Amino acid sequence: MTLEIFSHVTLGLVPMGFSPTYMVIIGISLLASWLISGTLKRRFAEYSQIPIGMTGAQIAEAMLRQHGITDVQVICTPGHLTDHYDPTRKTVNLSESVYTVNSVAAAAVAAHECGHAVQHQQAYHWLGLRTKLVPAVEFSSKMLNWLMMLGLLGIGVAHSPKMLWAWVILFGVTTVFSVITLPVEFDASRRALAWMEASGVAARMEHEKAKNALFWAAMTYFAAAVGSIAQLAYFLMLALNGRRNEN
């Protein structure tokens, strides 16, 4: 469930200064993220109190086994809601609150991460595309940080059309990544829920709770993508207006 989206919604590091429009975009994005994150944490805490017969690790191992996946290892990773699938090392990494816990929340998270392993096995197009974009996103993220630092020194993108366009391109890469993440996450949840229902690991009521938990987890990615698109649109508008003014 770890958010692997490179976000630059950072108050105090506004590349174009404290524009009222930009601050509204930031404010709405932060508010939406806060509300969704709060709901996710409440749902996870609530559903963590509902026991089932298998731990998160056992759920993951069973789902992988039933899909014929034998080269993916299930391991425990430190932290809370730090669960993720690593396609390079072929590991399903489950947080401590999922790996050893036998609850609806743990089962939903474990099955979701295994959904990514199934995507990898079946060469799911969107997962492959997201994986290929990771180096470009890491580079863009670093360059955006450098542009922010230049802004603190008074050499921000507001003083150079070329730097503004560089910001648009770099931020565009991270935005594309956050948008591509959406089908990957929603599909992994779909696979997880389908397997949980077919395997009978959870009763109907528990299945609905797992579905609700995964929905709110997916909404964190949705909010991040919408916020990123709104910011990109704002920067692109500024860059285009600057070009028109030059002409």
What lies within 8 Å, CB to CB, of 201 at 6+ separation is 52, 53, 54, 59, 62, 107
Q: How far is CA 5 from its chain centroid?
A: 5
In the residue annotation, 113 being an active-site residue is answered as: yes
What lies within 8 Å, CB to CB, of 186 at 6+ separation is 218
Q: Which of 113, 185, 197, 246 is catalytic?
A: 113
* pTM listed for this prediction: 0.83
Give the 3-state DSSP-derived string for 153-178, with helices as H, strands as E and coil as C: CCCCHHHCHHHHHHHHHHHHHHHHHH
State yes or no: pLDDT of 159 exceeds 50. Answer: yes
pLDDT tens-digit series, residues 225-245: 999 999 999 889 888 886 555
pLDDT tens-digit series, residues 47-79: 999 999 899 999 999 999 999 999 999 999 998
Encoded tokens for 60: 């993951």
pLDDT tens-digit series, residues 174-210: 999 999 999 999 999 999 999 998 888 777 668 889 9
Q: What average pLDDT does this structure show over 211-225?
A: 91
Q: What average pLDDT does this structure show over 15-31?
A: 76
What lies within 8 Å, CB to CB, of 190 at 6+ separation is 115
CB 84, CB 65: distance < 8 Å: no
β-strand 84-86 against 73-77: which pairing, if any? unpaired
Encoded tokens for 16: 């174009």
Kindly report which listed range (101-105, 150-154, 193-197) carries the lowest average pLDDT score: 150-154
Domain ranges of the chain: 20-50+104-109+123-246
